[in-house]
Amino acid sequence: MAEEKKATAKAPAQDKGKAAAAPAAAAPKTAAAAAVAPATAPMQKKMKPSARHVGSAKAARRKLRKKRSQIQARRKKEFTYRGYSLEELQKMPLADIIELLPARPRRSYIRGLNEEQQTFVDKLRKSDVPIRTHRREIPILPDFVGKTVHVYNGKEFQMVEIKSEMIGHALGEFALTRRTVNHSGLGVGATRSSKFMPLK
């Protein structure tokens, strides 16, 4: 009886050894299969921009940006002034437009324009041809949009085409009275060293 028990106890131990050896033998097969499998299986990962395009990652990103910009056409933003479109502003009465203007032009219209200014405004509203004026301080109203005015800048009449973005600004802001000065080199006597410069 004791001998039979020993035999049965040894048998499972031998089976365990065989079972342990079997996975060890099977392991190289699965490792080899795992190495081959990714090559044959389709890639599920999302490809990087650098992998899709030949060249550096920076060049790939540039190409993608360019492609995206071609697809999405940029729409021009519609003009609004204080939440009103140009058509709505042109239909509004002058009293309502004045309330929307900034402080300086609003005060000008509330106090009332002088005779010369009022004559110019009436003339500009009626005519379709360009008008000359010395009145640089007149604030631009929605009625003036699309008109052309020749504004005096102290030397000559400068052509100003009135656009919707100019509403609330003065006419003189678009006919500059100063120019940038480009200085040449130093003159003789300007510095100690220039004293000895040869005159040509």
pLDDT of res. 75: 62
Is residue 99 helix, strand or coil?
A: helix
| Tokens, residue 29 | 């097969």
- Nearest C-alpha neighbor of 162 from the set 132, 141, 137: 141
Q: Is 8 exposed, middle or buried (0-12, 13-18, 19+ CB in 10 A)?
A: exposed
pLDDT along the chain (200 residues), means of 10: 52 49 48 50 56 69 80 71 94 95 95 94 94 96 95 96 95 93 74 66
86-174: which CATH number, 3.40.50.1240, 1.10.3720.10, 3.30.860.10, 3.40.1350.10? 3.30.860.10
Predicted local confidence at residue 112, as pLDDT: 94
Per-residue CA distances from 83 to 45, 62, 87, 149 (Å): 48, 37, 12, 27
pLDDT number for residue 134: 96
Minimal CA–CA distance to 147: which of 166, 134, 169, 168? Answer: 166
> Model confidence over 44-84: pLDDT tens digits?
656 555 455 456 888 888 888 887 777 655 666 789 999 99
Residue 155 per-residue DSSP state: S
Amino acid occupying residue 76: K
- DSSP string for 109-150: HHH---HHHHHHHHHHHH-SS-EEE--TTPBP-GGGTT-EEE
Residues whose CB is less than 8 angstroms from the CB of residue 21 and which lie 6 or more positions away in sequence, other chains included: none
3-state secondary structure 1-62: CHHHHHHHHHHHHHHHHHHHHHHHHHHHHHHHHHHHHHHHCCCCCCCCHHHHCCCCHHHHHH
* CA dist 158 → 68, 110, 168 (Å): 42, 28, 20
Q: What is the pLDDT of residue 61?
A: 86
Output the pLDDT for position 71. Answer: 61
Planar angle of CA 18, 23, 29, nearest 5 degrees: 135
The secondary structure of residue 83, as a DSSP letter, is: T
List the chain domain ranges.
86-174
Q: What pLDDT score was predicted for residue 54? A: 54
